[in-house]
Amino acid sequence: MRLILASGSPRRAEILQSAGLPFTVMSSAVDETPIPGESAQEMVKRLALAKAELVAARAVGPAIVIAADTVVVLDNTVFGKPRTTEDARHMLEKLSARTHAVITGVALIRLPDVERREFQETTHVQFGALDEEEIIRYLASGEPFDKAGAYAIQGRAGRYISRIEGCYYNVVGLPLSRLCVALADLGWTEDNS
């Protein structure tokens, strides 16, 4: 039974690779527009499941499809991926010297029987104070783009993180420990990959 990562995220692929999990990648682009009144928790669960279902419909043979969606939440405001440099700057200014939540929804679908597992993970992240020059330098690095909340904890932004409470890999984009528990619950072992 093979593992299929329903994501083009290089960060999620790196997490699985570093854990020694064999997998293939299938793209899973879905409309990530929030639904009015939807909580961040509901949104990440909905999007993860939509991505998993999209790939499961195209997959052939025994497999477990893994999909995830991650957002950053501060003061009940969801920070997705920045669309522009100004959007990224605004996010970083808001995160500076504050604690925010990183929420990831994960959906797994085992094929061919379509057995599912879904969960969400929340990690709290404390940002140090960022001055204007630090924000400008960080924006110029290009790292804030294509990342929820406009930062990568595993990259240059790591120097600004003073504390985390919860799963580090969740902040990167895929809560590894809980994922492995869900895979085992679906009957996956390294011996049957």
Q: How confident is the model at residue 17 (pLDDT cuts 50, 70, 90)?
A: very high
Nearest-angstrom CA–CA distance, 188 and 182: 9
CATH architecture observed for domain 2-192: Alpha-Beta Complex (3.90)
The pLDDT of residue 192 is 63
**Minimal CA–CA distance to 108: which of 10, 21, 14?**
21
DSSP E strand stretches across 56-179: 63-74, 77-79, 99-111, 115-127, 161-165
- 3 state SS for 38-63: CCHHHHHHHHHHHHHHHHHCCCCCCE
Inform me whether the pLDDT recorded for 22 exceeds 70: yes
Contact 91, 97 (CB under 8 A): no
Residues assigned a catalytic role = 69
Question: Can you read off the two tokens belonging to residue 17?
Answer: 């690779």
Contact 137, 173 (CB under 8 A): no
Mention every residue, 6+ apart, whose C-beta is less than 8 A from residue 40: 71, 73, 78, 101, 103
User: For 140-171, how does the pLDDT look when each residue is reduced to its tens digit (9 = 90+)?
Assistant: 999 999 898 999 999 999 999 999 999 999 99
**Minimal CA–CA distance to 15: which of 23, 69, 40, 123?**
23
Helix (H) or strand (E) holding 3, with range, is strand 2-5
User: For 67-114, how does the pLDDT look when each residue is reduced to its tens digit (9 = 90+)?
Assistant: 999 999 999 999 988 999 999 999 999 999 999 999 999 999 999 999
Mention every residue, 6+ apart, whose C-beta is less than 8 A from residue 113: none
Q: What is the pTM of this model?
A: 0.92
Q: What is the mean pLDDT of residues 8-15?
A: 93
Inform me whether the pLDDT recorded for 193 exceeds 70: no
